[in-house]
Amino acid sequence: MDINGDRVEVAEHPPQLDLYQPLLFDKDSEKAASLALDLNEPSAIGEGNHGINHLAMIGGKVSPIESLDYELIENDLFKQDWRSKKPLETLQYVIVKWTFVFLVGLLTGLVAFGINMAVENVAGLKFVYTLNFMTSQRFALAFLVYAGVNSILVVLAALLCVYVGPSAAGSGIPEVKAYLNGVDTPNVFSFQTLIVKILGSIGSVAGGLIVGKEGPLVHVGACIASILGQGGSVRYGMTWKWLRYLKNDRDRRDLVTCGAAAGVAAAFRAPVGGVLFALEEVTSWWRGPLLWRTFFTTAVVAVVLRTGIVWCKQGHCGLSGEGGLIIFDVSGNPPDSGGNPDLNSGLQDLLPVIILGVVGGVLGSLFNQINGTIIMSSKRWLKKKGKCAKIAQAIVVALITSVCSFGLPWLATCQPCPTTIGFPDEPKCPTHGRTPNFKAFHCPANTYNDLAGLFFNTNDDTIRNLFSKGTNGEFAFSSLLIYLVTAYSLALLTYGIAVPSGLFVPAILCGATYGRIMGMAMRIVYGPGSMDEGIYALLGAASFLGGSMRMTVSLCIILLELTNNLSLLPLIMLVLLVSKTVGDGFNDAVYQLHVQIKDIPFLEEHPLSFMQQLTARDAITGPLVWFSGIERVGTILEVLRSTKHNGFPVIDNTFNNGKDERQQPIFCGLVLRSHLLVLLKKKQFIESREWGHNNLPQVHGCLSSAEFAKPGSGKGVKIHDIHLDIGEEEMFLDLHPITNTSPYTVVETMSLAKAYILFRQLGLRHLCVMPKSSEGQPILGLLTRHDFMANYLLNLHPSLKQSNHKKIHAYPSFRSPSQP
Amino acid sequence: MDINGDRVEVAEHPPQLDLYQPLLFDKDSEKAASLALDLNEPSAIGEGNHGINHLAMIGGKVSPIESLDYELIENDLFKQDWRSKKPLETLQYVIVKWTFVFLVGLLTGLVAFGINMAVENVAGLKFVYTLNFMTSQRFALAFLVYAGVNSILVVLAALLCVYVGPSAAGSGIPEVKAYLNGVDTPNVFSFQTLIVKILGSIGSVAGGLIVGKEGPLVHVGACIASILGQGGSVRYGMTWKWLRYLKNDRDRRDLVTCGAAAGVAAAFRAPVGGVLFALEEVTSWWRGPLLWRTFFTTAVVAVVLRTGIVWCKQGHCGLSGEGGLIIFDVSGNPPDSGGNPDLNSGLQDLLPVIILGVVGGVLGSLFNQINGTIIMSSKRWLKKKGKCAKIAQAIVVALITSVCSFGLPWLATCQPCPTTIGFPDEPKCPTHGRTPNFKAFHCPANTYNDLAGLFFNTNDDTIRNLFSKGTNGEFAFSSLLIYLVTAYSLALLTYGIAVPSGLFVPAILCGATYGRIMGMAMRIVYGPGSMDEGIYALLGAASFLGGSMRMTVSLCIILLELTNNLSLLPLIMLVLLVSKTVGDGFNDAVYQLHVQIKDIPFLEEHPLSFMQQLTARDAITGPLVWFSGIERVGTILEVLRSTKHNGFPVIDNTFNNGKDERQQPIFCGLVLRSHLLVLLKKKQFIESREWGHNNLPQVHGCLSSAEFAKPGSGKGVKIHDIHLDIGEEEMFLDLHPITNTSPYTVVETMSLAKAYILFRQLGLRHLCVMPKSSEGQPILGLLTRHDFMANYLLNLHPSLKQSNHKKIHAYPSFRSPSQP
């Protein structure tokens, strides 16, 4: 073994002289070029060597990404701070935290309400004008107005997304997931993104696209939370002292989690569903107190929305105050006008429900697959053609959607108005205005166009139509089939273009449509005693959502809160169980798929199986870059300039107090690049190594942990902000006060799968690998998020490529006895 | 520093010669007597030295406790196994897992249904006979029958609990929490405990005590899950091959989590509430897939209960089929007969709701405090007096309860029957049979005794009465007050006696009563436009539950599922937020308090603040006991006999291949006591150290990882099962195949708070402390659950006793800048 030799060599060469001590694996220096590297800027050395780049698609834009610091950096400054903490400060912190959580709920609720109002009014006006032309039989003009308004709205949304806030394209949920997994990227939650997301979402939804505002609302909630969590802004003079408490990634993560929960709660008026959505889908780390805090946020959202609805009922909301309730609220349907599924329907409903689940699983996973393929193949094309192509793509999709929604209803045969309608308030038939049911479209008096009721409405109204109870037979089988095929195809095309676009609504639209078809079929099989078509529509929506998004409890609760009918619980549970199981058999959940498409280095909950065959040492590939406890300033500068590493071990082996010649090195801990930069900028240098040892208190006294607080994304000190003269470069810097003496470590023989679990569960950025033997250096290397990525590891160990790479979450701990 | 010297000494003395190498801290050998000790048998050496014993109250019995092995033991055998794993085995494992999850749901649902039927029928018969005597004016006889039946039922429950299954006393939720925190204890989930819990629960609830069957049902669910998870039974010939997959603590933990969720789901017919209860209150570790699995379990429970209710409606259930619905189901109330709180009541309801929250917080935390004091003070007395005292205590409580519930209604003035009753099915007034409302008791015709409607019912019926809507004014203020005081006092007395007793029902009873009082007050203030008293009762129940149990989301969902009325959501959220906040200001949640009372070494989510001031090294107190990779059998035996340690480091330093005299020791990993015992029992010994090195494959080939699978609680090989002759003791054992080469480690400078987080988050049993320097032994010591207990650490470092020991969960990461 070479370790012995290395050790001696290291001990003889003081580290400040030759910087890159080859420690292990130094044979293939080609591979070793970029090691222990954190995810950093795109120009990182060695890009391509691992097959992993440091760039990811954020929204519609390729951005550099970095890891977040969730670990508590326990250096001397922090400890000193901790000891001198006053109870008043804890109180201040608690007050700030809860105030911000409250604000997140309040603002998200208000924004959601505003988006909803805007969509309802803009789309309402559009329909009013179009219908005016239609009633006067000027159909061509009507189409021009309809298609024109749609295109303009969508183009505006696309322009904003392409030129102002590229991070705002898409649903935003993959980006929120990535952030909460520890992946930081500039601008993903910036103020620009927020504004573009809000306006773009209004444009794309009011523009008639098959998209929802639910996913975007999650992003909006996260943006609001993240902006609040920046700890003020020096530029705008908002530097309130209390805000300093939020200047760390841990509190920001908690706030963003609350924001995501608030977004879902606002989108569906489902406070509990929001909490569970955050828990089940969005977050990677969950702490007990978060349940309580997200719950509070969503409660605030619920109250805001309720107040808004009351206000709207008084007629302040223009077209929406009259037309629909805010967001969904299907409880306005007559209670139990159809068969109440609780007790009177027995086992006969189980079979159709299971069939719905299977259909949902198949169609949902197919949706994921095709949508992924479309995005992947258009990605290269769009990269070549540039920004204009994105705008053109949006226009084309908007026009196709307009043509379909205006043209296809002409295929439907006009149906006679029902003579008895189950509704207590007896809606007119046919209607010409905004009322969603029984659209006249081109049909003569006393008949209605059922397909127009699906196509020629806002998506929310279409869903309300599909979910409505007591309306069995309102839609013809052929109409539902045409709508299903069209909506499914349009949804596939639309999700991925450069506008804010949610996936919930398309999924609900498709699912509810085939659910209703199933309901019609069941009415033929079981006669009029079967469940209402509206309930089948709800179950169908659940099945498609389950098949595509693979959530369970949160979807169930959201749908229950949406419909306000708890008696449906067992059936919704069953349908979700079936559709998720079927979908899982085919591919990953849609958001997970998009995380992969976007090249985000996401740490999933379970390690891949081949990691069991590697040890922590196998993932280390290059020379360790480290500092002495008291290091020459020039050396530090040089290292920071030449590498992109974000963490460096600190090793002391300079206590030459004459007793022992061959002093063993001592591992002191880790320093962060950001802390080094702050220290360099402060120029707290010392003359010599010895001076530092004798005068530590003085040096420490000048530093305050507040200066090392982590600023918001992309706001820290940069290496090119540091300007030192030659004399200063020859001085020394005492790294001890900023060295985190409590880094998490693994022993080199630790299997990589277990190291992964440690890294993922604790939300680390750096993981130190320690030697199993007492010989040589006290630390072998650093592992970062990067080193746990499958592509990187498989390039490093090509022999593992053959084996299957299933996630380890369902393996028997012990095999069958091979023993007599 | 002495480390150097130690290292040399160690290297010169092969470990098999002198067993206890003093490594660090060997100066105070007094303290060092029992170190790196796992929680083990009560006779453990050094008990009392730390101020921590290895015993805890489990149910009503003091039992020895141990830690569970949640960590994956990645030794050679495991890895070999893993590589040769066939896809079929994974499939088998998945099938077994899901079958068992299904069985847990099915059986828990059936048991819950059975308990409910039994309670309803037994209590029903009791009331029928008593009321027969009362209608014939033979009141004394009626009382004798009533009190006699109650006492007999309670005594039977107490006898079972004291003599057959002592672990079954109490609610069981603290024990389930402890198990899921990693604390193992024999018999807590045994078949005996299950039976006693079921029968005892029927006895105590039917015997009229102010206890519920909800907590016990959680324990029952956990028992069922644990029994299924034992991996079969050799004694009863149930050794089905597939069961072997469940032979590990990780899968058992998952199953028990599902069982606990199923218990809550069955108790309240609240499937989603069950999942959230498990997540929020019971479990210490939560994995994503568990959400999905518990959800499935509770769905099964919901279907079983629904089927049961349908079956009961057909009249198969005796007295309960007619009387009440199964469990609670308050949805039978007329919908919105009182004011619907959703939209028409505005801000005027906020104040009373906040007041209710405050009252609930105060009364709930007071309940925790007084109940804890009562139990602590009676503990010593009971210990002195023995088992009979427990029985006597139960009799006394049963008699007091009988006297109160029979005697106090005489204080009420008979009230005239209401002329118009809001119910659609118009109940009779007064009633004489099982019907809960408008009890006649001793009142003349056309009048009823409202206090009897509260006292002289089963608890479930009382709750239904209190929650009933459209019954404003049914209960007089004085009656409610009397009931509140009595129920509160009785609940305080009852929780803690030796019968299975749940806390939910007492909390709901008290809360609903003062909620109704508040409703009456509000009717006076706001007039008839205020909310229904039934809704106030529900809110009151929420406030007491929140104030005592401090759960949020799960309680909210349980109450919503209980009442089937989602429009109450914002109000319930608000009341829970207030009451939890108020309660948290006073003391811990009730189950947490009971965990402390029971002396369970529970690892809470957050470390205590003083741990920030200690390092991992500070928690190590004694000599490390370790083995060589190839160790003398006699040495191993001696160590296993003389210590109670459950994990031992394996250190290799015997590769004397002539090159280097002073070979550095290598840390190989950890072996478990249980694995050593299996190896010793198999007698796979080798002749000499050298033989082992040359013939490793042969040795390995004889071992199978299945033999090392962890058997059920208390079933493993014991040290006194090992019998070896002198010759065998002089042979050697190769520990490498069973050495876990992936133990989790921390560096000695790691702050104890961060080590705690690692230990707790990953669910460890042993945590290795590694040196920061390359000198000396490659491992300094082991930390176990024990070493993180506050009492132990404070005894070790008395200087820290002065500082406050708040949990670290709300501290500012950075202090105010003290810098210009």
What pLDDT digit, counting tens, does each position of A216-261 carry? 999 999 999 999 888 766 666 666 777 777 788 888 999 999 999 9
- Shortest alpha-carbon distance between residue B234 and chain A (Å): 16
**The architecture CATH gives domain A92-322:** Orthogonal Bundle (1.10)
Which residues of chain A does B345 touch, with a Cβ-Cβ cutoff of 8 Å?
none
- Mark yes or no for CB contact B774/A770 under 8 Å: no
What's the whole-number average pLDDT of chain B? 80
With CA atoms as reference, report the closest residue to A305 among A328, A332, A276: A328
Place of tokens 């601008």: A187
- Shortest alpha-carbon distance between residue B83 and chain A (Å): 8
Question: pLDDT value at position B415?
Answer: 84
Residue with the bigger pLDDT between B750 and A808: it is B750
Calpha distance B167→B200 (Å, rounded): 12
Q: What is the pLDDT of residues A502-513, one digit of tens each?
A: 999 999 999 999
Residue B325 has pLDDT above 50, yes or no: no
CB B264 within 8 A of CB B274: yes
Calpha distance B440→A4 (Å, rounded): 93
- Mark yes or no for CB contact B758/A744 under 8 Å: yes
CB B557 within 8 A of CB A272: yes
Calpha distance A159→A149 (Å, rounded): 15
DSSP string, B619-679: H--SPPP-EESEEEHHHHHHHHHH---SEEEEEE-----SS-SSPPPEEEEEEEHHHHHHH
What Rg do the C-alpha atoms of chain B give, in angstroms? Answer: 30
Are B3-61+605-802 and B87-322 in the same CATH fold? Answer: no
Calpha distance A619→A35 (Å, rounded): 10
Fold adopted by B347-410+458-597: Clc chloride channel (1.10.3080)
Question: pLDDT value at position B689?
Answer: 72
Structure-derived torsion over alpha carbons of residues A226, A231, A233, A237, reported in degrees to the nearest 10 = 140
Amino acid identity at A5: G
How would residue B782 be classed by pLDDT, with cut points 50, 70 and 90? very high
Calpha distance B516→B512 (Å, rounded): 6
Which residues of chain B does A580 touch, with a Cβ-Cβ cutoff of 8 Å?
292
- Mark yes or no for CB contact B819/A704 under 8 Å: yes
> What are the backbone dihedrals phi and psi of residue A489, each rounded to the nearest 5 degrees, phi first?
-65, -45
Calpha distance A283→A286 (Å, rounded): 7
Interface A–B counts its CB contacts (< 8 A) at 323
Contacts 24+ apart (CB under 8 A), A368-374: A368/A548, A368/A583, A368/A586, A368/A587, A368/A588, A368/A589, A368/A590, A368/A593, A369/A586, A369/A587, A370/A492, A371/A492, A371/A495, A371/A496, A371/A590, A372/A593, A372/A594, A372/A597, A374/A492, A374/A493, A374/A496
Which residues of chain B does A770 touch, with a Cβ-Cβ cutoff of 8 Å?
745, 747, 770
Which residues of chain A does B706 touch, with a Cβ-Cβ cutoff of 8 Å?
814-819
Question: pLDDT value at position B577?
Answer: 87
Question: pLDDT value at position A238?
Answer: 65
What Rg do the C-alpha atoms of chain A give, in angstroms? Answer: 30
CATH class of B87-322: mainly alpha
Question: pLDDT value at position A696?
Answer: 54
* β-pairing verdict for B415-416 and B630-632: unpaired
In three-state secondary structure terms, B752 is helix
- The one-character DSSP state at A497 is B
In three-state secondary structure terms, A329 is coil
Q: What is the pLDDT of residues A540-599, one digit of tens each?
A: 999 999 999 998 888 988 888 887 777 788 888 889 989 999 999 999 999 999 998 888
Calpha distance A522→A227 (Å, rounded): 51
Residue of A nearest to B739 (CA): A749
Residue A733 has pLDDT above 90, yes or no: no
Q: Which CATH number fits domain B3-61+605-802: 3.10.580.10, 1.10.238.10, 3.30.750.24, 1.10.8.870?
A: 3.10.580.10
Half-sphere exposure of B594 (CA within 13 A, CB side): 24
Residue A808 has pLDDT above 70, yes or no: no
Burial A485-495 (b: 16+ CB within 10 A, else e): ebbbebbbbbb
Beta bridge partners of B648: B671
CB A203 within 8 A of CB A499: yes
Which of B550, B562, B772, B803 to mutate to test binding with chain A, by most A CBs within 10 Å of its CB? B772
CB A29 within 8 A of CB A35: no
Which residues of chain A does B772 touch, with a Cβ-Cβ cutoff of 8 Å?
666-668, 778
Judged by average pLDDT, the poorest of A13-27, B429-443, B774-788 is A13-27
- Shortest alpha-carbon distance between residue B159 and chain A (Å): 39
DSSP H helices in A668-802: 673-682, 689-694, 696-701, 726-729, 752-762, 790-796
Rounded to the nearest 10 degrees, the angle between the axes of helix B673-682 and helix B633-642 is: 140
Amino acid identity at B311: W
What CATH number labels A3-71+606-656+663-801? 3.10.580.10
Q: pTM for this one?
A: 0.86
Q: Count CB atoms within 10 A of the CB of residue B256.
A: 27
- Domain range summary for chain A, segments of one domain joined by +: 3-71+606-656+663-801, 92-322
Q: Pick from A570, A709, A775: which is nearest to B814 by CB?
A: A709
Calpha distance B467→B484 (Å, rounded): 15
Calpha distance B108→B302 (Å, rounded): 10
Q: What is the pLDDT of residues B662-720, one digit of tens each?
A: 567 889 999 999 899 988 888 878 877 765 555 555 555 567 777 787 777 667 788 88
- B154 burial class (0-12, 13-18, 19+ CB within 10 angstroms)? buried
What's the whole-number average pLDDT of chain A? 80
Calpha distance B97→B103 (Å, rounded): 10
Q: What percent of chain A has pLDDT over 70?
A: 81
Which of A276, A772, A775 to mutate to test binding with chain B, by most B CBs within 10 Å of its CB? A772
CB B368 within 8 A of CB B117: no
Calpha distance B731→A140 (Å, rounded): 98
Half-sphere exposure of A297 (CA within 13 A, CB side): 38
- Shortest alpha-carbon distance between residue B123 and chain A (Å): 27
Q: Pick from B79, B280, B772: which is nearest to A667 by CB?
A: B772
Judged by average pLDDT, the poorest of B30-34, B137-141, B268-272, B533-537 is B30-34
- Mark yes or no for CB contact B577/A296 under 8 Å: yes
Would the CA dihedral through A360, A364, A367, A373 be positive or negative? negative
Place of tokens 């995810």: A39
Which residues of chain B does A613 touch, with a Cβ-Cβ cutoff of 8 Å?
79, 83
Judged by average pLDDT, the poorest of A777-781, B24-28, B180-184 is B24-28
Which residues of chain B does A749 touch, with a Cβ-Cβ cutoff of 8 Å?
668-669, 741-742
How would residue B346 be classed by pLDDT, with cut points 50, 70 and 90? low
With CA atoms as reference, report the closest residue to B761 among B633, B639, B589, B604: B604
Burial A249-267 (b: 16+ CB within 10 A, else e): bbbbbbbbbbbbbbbbbbb
> What are the backbone dihedrals phi and psi of residue A566, each rounded to the nearest 5 degrees, phi first?
-70, -20
